[in-house]
Every structure is written in structure tokens, then in C-alpha cells.
Chain A
């Protein structure tokens, strides 16, 4: 099968440090792949290896069916990228920075620069020097450069970095429309897990250099744990009642938490039990673990 991205045992060592350790990734075409991990987990090193910016210590990288190798070999005409913090020539305007990118990407259509400026909402800043742009607009410039040549594959490192809430939504919708309408494959790393949760169709978790989990976003619902949260005025009495009924009750702040399936599947029985004992709940809800919670549970990290 022809994958948009395929790595086999990709490893990168810096002396004793294993920045990336035997990562085997497969990203299907048209997929939005969310690559999540803590700071220093190996996200950016993996992305640099995908783009041929660093030589793997071991393993191989294929992008759009082509081996990525030394001398910058790769299908770069069809790939757009944004690596770490966006950088631009500070003394050049937004338009000039993008014009350089257009020429180096060998895009003959001179209107491509103007189109991407408008698409990324940079028209008001087109003739402003990049050195005076806000972080958010610099990020937009970086994204504009990645999209300028209308690539088949986007490799984006933290695309929502520095954007304001409206900008985050705008870029999310832009990436989603590119994937759904034009079949663009998006490989994005992020530590903003809610963004990945909303956008990605497949998620990979990297931790301490290793790819520890990969799953379809649709399956996340089944992977996430559930719990029944109960708020009650007489906390101790309610806890006692539930314990006597055989539930393993956890006290979390001012709330009782049940994680057993019989409580989650039949919350009405728990409610009836508490009402009959004279300690009626003021709130009772089945809550689902979010991606953040799942991620922290998976990596064993504590908040």
C-alpha cells in the first residue's frame, strides 16, 4: 500500500540520548494524523527526519512513496512544512518572504503568493516587515509558506502555536477542508490535545522517543475510561451508603466518583439508592475521559 508517510524503525541518537527510538509510522493518504507527546518526547526530531533535515541513526523514511535521503532528496515539490517556531527574514515583508518561497518551490503562477496571503488572512500585513509581526501573524506566515505550492502532504509542527482562539478555529477549519475537499494528508504534531481531538482522524502518541500507541480517532471513545461523578450535600453519609451497597467509592475534591461498570451502566440505580438513604444527589453524571486524561494515563504522567 502506498502511504503518505512510512517510517521503518526510525531512530535518532545523540550520543547516549535516544531522541527517537525505533518509530514505525504509517500515515494513510487523506488522513489527518495527530502526533502527540510531551516536550522532548521526540515529535520535532521525527518531523525533521521526515523532512530529511537530520540523518536517522537507524531505520528508513518514505514520504509520498519516495525515500528521503541525503542531499535533500525527497518529494518536496508536493510537501509543505512548518517546523517548530516559524522563521522569516525579518527585514523582508510578508509578500517578499512568500515570493522567495514561491520561487524556491518553482511555482510558476505569480498569483499564488497573493492567493495564499488572502487565504491566511494576511492581506493587511502583506507589506509589513516580518520582523515586526506578532507571534500569531508570524505563525500565519509560516502556514502560508507551507500551503503556497498547494502540497499533497502537510507536515506541521504545532500549527496552532501562537494563534488566538479565533485563529485556532480558523486554521482547524482550513486544515479540515483541505483534507476533506482536496484530499490533502495532514501530519501534525501538537501538545494542544483538544485541537488534535477535534481534528485528527488518527492519533499517534510518542513518549520518550517511542511510539507507544496509535489509534483511530473514532476508537478513542472506546479507549477512554468513564466514571460516574456524584455531587451530594451529605458527602460522608452518601459515601457510607454507597460503600455499604458494595461500590468502590473514590472521593475526589467535593465529589464522589464511581468507576465500576455497574455504576456507569445504571446511574439511575445509584441515584435511587442515595435518595432512599436520605442523601439525594445534587448532580449525577457519567463523564468521559478526554484525550488529555487518556494521554496522561497512557504516559503515566501526573498533572
Chain B
């Protein structure tokens, strides 16, 4: 336990001192602010039409200006935007050790390598949880300020849990990003993987096989794609769970056994 506490302390310090913490928070906050902007546009269609393209886009995405639509946008953004933003966080947490050539300082230590990897995953999970809570709370404030209709405590609670579940499922797909950051020794391979998996998720969803493709499951669970949400079942969660454990095991195996030449 001491070893884990030490490793986690080190990871947390690195994250606290880095600008990327603030950048990811600012990046993710665009989501509730953009959602709020769409709500403002949708509340005033006459004005929105005068704005032209922006209004058309807003209507395509949300349709009506109310709390269900606003929460839906936040959930979908957590799944879609999160797939890239969370991948960026994971790529940084793991890939920086290779980019900064500090991985070699983590190899011959009394603290086992798997403990360091576990600490990195826990930090990533907490980071993602923090960002999700942040945009939910800020979203509540923006929604209230914009004064959109359709609020209910029950809706807020359901949306909160949907967002958390979406964020959890998106996080569970991050170990493969960690693996690519480690084996690829940097940032580009994991980000390439994140973009590629998102593209495949789109294709799987369009073909109607999204519930069988782990990387498509968070978007479907986010509830925005109503026609597909019903398809998600136990098999989908088990596949995401499999991808999580497979990714964690592969990342740990790589840190344990691969040649560290940087």
C-alpha cells in the first residue's frame, strides 16, 4: 500500500504541476458553454435564423431548447469529446515518461512497475471523474442562467448517472491508449489510435453493430442516439469490461517485460 501511495503521490504531483490539467479543464468546459450557446440560439429562432449557419447546426444537433436536450448534449459530448480528451490525458500520463526520457528512472526501483502503472490508471480515472463532475456542475449553472424549460430533479439525477456511466465506459477504453503511449513511446501513436477507434465506432454504429463494438458503446449509452440505445445490453458492457482488463493487462505486461531503451 505504501508503494502505491508513493507512486500515486508522484503521479498527482506531476499532473498538478503541468499546464495540461488546466488545458483539459478549459477544453472540456467548452462543452457546457457550447451547449448553452445552442440553447440560447434555439430559444430565439427568429434571431437564430438571422445568424444563418449557426442556427441550422444548432437545430440539427439539439432540436429544442430544454433541459433534456441540454443534458443530452452534455452526455454525448462526454462520450464523443471525451474519447479524444480522455485519450489526450491518458497519452500524457503514460507517454510523457518516454517523451521526457524519465521512463528509465521508473524501472529499477523498489516500487514495482505494475504499481506505477496502476497509479497512473487511478490518476487518469480520477482526472476524468473530476472533469465530468466539473462540466455537470458548470452545465447546471449555464442551464439555469439560460433559463431553459423542462427541469426536474429526477431528470437531473438520471442525466447525472448517464453522464457518469458514459464517462466510466469511455475511461474503460483508455488502457489501450495507455498501451499505445507506452509501446509507441510518446504521444502520436495513442492519439492516432484514439482517432482511429472513434472512426471505427462511427462505422460500427452506422452498420448497426455498435452494441458489439466496445468503442461505440459509450456514445450509444449517452442516450443521444435513441434508436441505438436500446440495443446496448449486458453483452456490450461485458465487451467494454473485456477491453478494459485486456488493455490494463497488456499495458502492465509491456511495462514488465519490454526492453526499455529510452
Contacts and interface: CB of A to CB of B under 8 A. Distances in A.
A87 B257 CA distance: 22
A83 B7 contact: no
Contact of A106 (B10, B100, B108, B110): B110
Contacts of A92: 13-14, 17
A55 interface: yes
Interface residues of A, number: 32
Contact of B113 (A71, A79, A83, A96): A71
Nearest to B11: A100
A55 B257 contact: yes
B9 interface: yes
Interface string A73-88: 0101101010111011
B2 interface: yes
Contact of B14 (A70, A83, A89): A89
Question: Counting chain B CB atoms within 10 Å of each CB, which of A92, A101, A145 scores highest?
Answer: A92
B104 A87 contact: yes
A80 to B, nearest CB: 9
Interface stretch (A46-54, A205-213, A276-284, A292-300): A46-54
Contacts of A91: 14, 17-19
Contacts of A166: none
Contact of B110 (A76, A81, A83): A76
A106 to B, nearest CB: 5
Contacts, number: 89
Contacts of B257: 55, 70-71
B235 interface: no
Contacts of A100: 9-10, 13-14
Nearest to A90: B100
Given A53-B259, A87-B101, A91-B18, A76 B10 contact: no
Given A92-B13, A106-B3, A54 B110 contact: no
Interface string B110-148: 111110100000000000000000000000000000000
A4 B261 CA distance: 24
Nearest to B14: A89
B112 A71 contact: yes
A241 B216 CA distance: 93
Secondary structure at the A interface, as helix, strand, loop or mixed, is loop
Interface string B68-107: 0000000000000000000000000000000011101111
B6 interface: yes
A40 interface: no
A104 interface: yes
A111 B109 CA distance: 20
A65 interface: no
Contacts of A77: 110
A103 interface: yes
B256 interface: yes
A83 B104 CA distance: 8
Contacts of B114: 71
B145 to A, nearest CB: 35
Contacts of B158: none
A89 B96 CA distance: 9
Contacts of B107: 51-53, 72
Interface in A25-69: 48, 51-55
B132 to A, nearest CB: 25
A40 to B, nearest CB: 13
Interface string B231-248: 000000000000000000
A71 B101 contact: no
A106 B113 contact: no
A172 interface: no
Contacts of A81: 108
B105 A87 contact: yes
Contacts of A191: none
B47 interface: no
B260 interface: yes
Contacts of B18: 91
Contacts of B9: 100, 103
A105 B108 CA distance: 10
Contacts of A83: 104
Closest 4 A/B residue pairs (Cβ) = A103-B6, A87-B101, A54-B259, A51-B108
